[in-house]
Structure 1
């Protein structure tokens, strides 16, 4: 009896090894479930299956070896359907505490896959980022790839959307099949462009079928990889899309403290009293996205170089030309300016248009 069990154990492990040399995603869940079931009945078999999954053939990351298949291309335009982003980030992304906690959970799972396998579990394989443009969704995807030392493959929607709609579905399959068999992180940016609500009467049937194709591919995604999708328009997504993702994270516009942190990082090598200016500019930029703030500061720096002026002068011009603030906001800005010690009450009046008496009264209230 013991000999039979041992033989069956060897046969099952060999069968699993053969299956895993093909489409891993088709068999992995079955192997995980079997290892959990046999953990008590046959611990040796369970341990062998877990070890097999852990030691399955390593997939090669794109562009690292010449033997790697070329990136998929559109058959009509010959444009590459994916772009590859590699390398470390210049700085850590500025994230809210809840998003940071979720992303670290994702990393911890990937670094402890063996422990998960031992309990019949698999790491999170699909994540959906939603929020307005410029709030750090793409940066977060790059950060995950950098932390896991994997290339980030980004779907190029311009290339995927073929003039022949039937081929667009094929392009999506080409991209996802390639990423499934590559050691990478895949980012589907602007997901709403290809996963719109199927009850939208303005969309033709072929585009609706694309959503079905995408849903099937997400369901089939292997646990060995990570699929990240991002959207600026969550209201346009088909309801079935939300259920396909194991983790959904909402990105918002930065808070005052986050803006102050970003401005300090962008200006720390270019201006004195960076802490004071960061506090002032966090008030000015309140409500803007990270990308808008970076773009505006870079424009100011370019003006300084071209015109030969100082950055402080340009920042004061930015303050004086800000007409979007209400009367109450201008009073608060004048108080912050004077409290910073950068300008006098007279200069605070000139920059904001708030009378010096009003500034003094508000200083007393504070």
Structure 2
């Protein structure tokens, strides 16, 4: 036997050994599928046998994953769980996203649902994604939605919560969580990634943290196909530049625009969503610039007060406007009154009642606006 014959298939054998020893059964199956296709022409009997083995093992895939075998990692000192585990919720309502976010999140879901189709052309689904955006725009909610659509548990690791003054302990905790998640078919969310994956050229950070960032980058590179690694950050400017390159996908979550604010209001109103277009538009003005989380909290508070006081939500909205206008500068109250009056369904009398701005004041500002508009047109 020649030397070249002796080592034929060596690379495939070593790759398969690594996958098997790292306890990644679904990755083993994907790899064997590729091998079967590669040798379909030169070794048809071997390829057929591998395909048959894969077909017979597909029914046992859930057992191979051993999702309940490993204990949930805990902090050695406090003995508290390091991660929060949420079971998938199949009846979860679709979140309100910006159109660009909806497209990218849906693409992630469809890739995971059609892994076999990708494997047929030697492709893999997205294994990791970084969610970037200010607080309250739906980053954690999107991770929850993806997990629910894939019927997988969501594991959440708040990196800011596991940071310790003893960085060696932090490193051990993070590694324990990553090792645990890699053995599961799950969605892992690393929340507040900037708490740990900071720039390694930051002079204020010590060597242990820089080494931990290096380990994290390696884990992202080698994340198994059967799981999905997500990370979220509110402070993208703090991230190490290498972090951006490691993630398969980066999704930017912008603050909600007017149309998304209105959709969120309708969604969060629940059974009170038949309140009427007038009030939906008023709320969209009041919540302009707010994030989804704040909108949900404010509307929930209004609905809760309406229930406790046994009155219509619209009355609570009126009271809310009265409360906020008392603490606002006059110029801002006047601007709010103008916006409300701009809604064709609301009269000057109604705006005056809601904001405390007199109808005479509204008429004067309207007249000034009309004159300024005519001057602008050269009239």
Taking a change above 3 Å as real, the CA distance of residues 137 and 45 of structure 1, as seen in their structure-2 partners, is farther
* 1:126 Cα deviation after fit: 0.3
* Structure 1 unaligned blocks of 5 or more: none
Alignment of 1:36-55 (within 5 A): 37-38=38-39, 40-42=41-43, 45=46, 55=57
Give the conservation status (yes or no) of the 8 Å contact 1:153–1:187.
Answer: yes
* TM-score, normalised via structure 1 length: 0.83
1:244 partnered with 2:249:
no
Shifted more, 90-99 versus 137-146: the winner is 90-99
1:277 aligns with 2:296: no
In structure 2, what is the Cα distance between the partners aligned to 1:63 and 1:122?
22
Deviation for aligned residue 1:168? 1.3
Task: Please name the residue that 2:139 is paired with.
Answer: 137
Q: Choose from 332, 342, 345 the match for 2:339.
A: 332
Of the structure 1 ranges 112-121 and 30-39, higher mean CA displacement relative to structure 2 is found in 30-39
Aligned to 2:349: 346
Shift of 1:268: 4.5
State the 1:258 CA deviation.
Answer: 1.0
Query: Once structures 1 and 2 are overlaid, which stretch shifts more, 193-202 or 273-282?
Result: 273-282
Distance 1:256 1:222, change over 3 A: same
Conserved? CA contact 1:331–1:358, under 8 Å: no
Aligned to 1:225: 227
Q: Per-residue CA shift, 1:50-106, capped at 9, x if unaligned?
A: 7767847635699975xx221011111111111111142542111122222222222
Instruction: Indicate the larger mover: 300-309 or 23-32.
Output: 23-32
State which of 90, 94, 97 in structure 1 corresponds to 2:96: 94
2: CA distance, partners of 1:111 / 1:51: 22
Between the aligned partners of 1:129 and 1:61, the Cα distance in structure 2 is 30
SS of alignment partner, residue 189 of structure 2 = strand
TM-score, with structure 2 as normaliser: 0.80
- Residues 79/112 of structure 1: CA separation in 2 closer, same or farther (3 Å cut): same
Corresponding residue of 2:76: 75
**Which stretch of the first structure deviates more once superposed, 322-331 or 53-62?**
53-62
Figure out how many residues of one structure are paired with residues of the other and give that number.
352
Whole-angstrom CA distance in 2 between matches of 1:203 and 1:326: 47
Structure 1 CA distance for aligned equivalents of residues 262 and 115 of structure 2: 38
Which of 109, 112, 133 aligns to 1:110? It is: 112
Q: Cα RMSD (Å) of the superposition?
A: 3.5
| Residue number among 305, 312, 316 corresponding to 1:303 in the alignment | 305
Q: Out of 285-294 and 95-104, give the one that drifted further.
A: 95-104
Q: 1:193 to 1:12 in 2, by over 3 A?
A: closer
Q: What is residue 185 of structure 1 aligned with on the other side?
A: 187
- 1:225 CA displacement: 0.9
Distance in 1, Cα, partners of 2:35 & 2:231: 31
User: Is the alpha carbon distance of 1:201 and 1:280 closer, same or farther for their aligned partners in structure 2, counting shifts above 3 Å?
Assistant: same
**Are the structure 2 counterparts of residues 161 and 113 from structure 1 closer, same or farther at C-alpha, using a change threshold of 3 Å?**
same
Which shows bigger deviation, 321-330 or 119-128? 321-330
Query: Aligned partners of 2:164 and 2:187: how far apart in 1?
Result: 24
| Whole-angstrom distance in 2 between the partners of 1:274 and 1:178 | 49
Q: Contact 2:199–2:241 at 8 Å: present in 1 too? A: yes
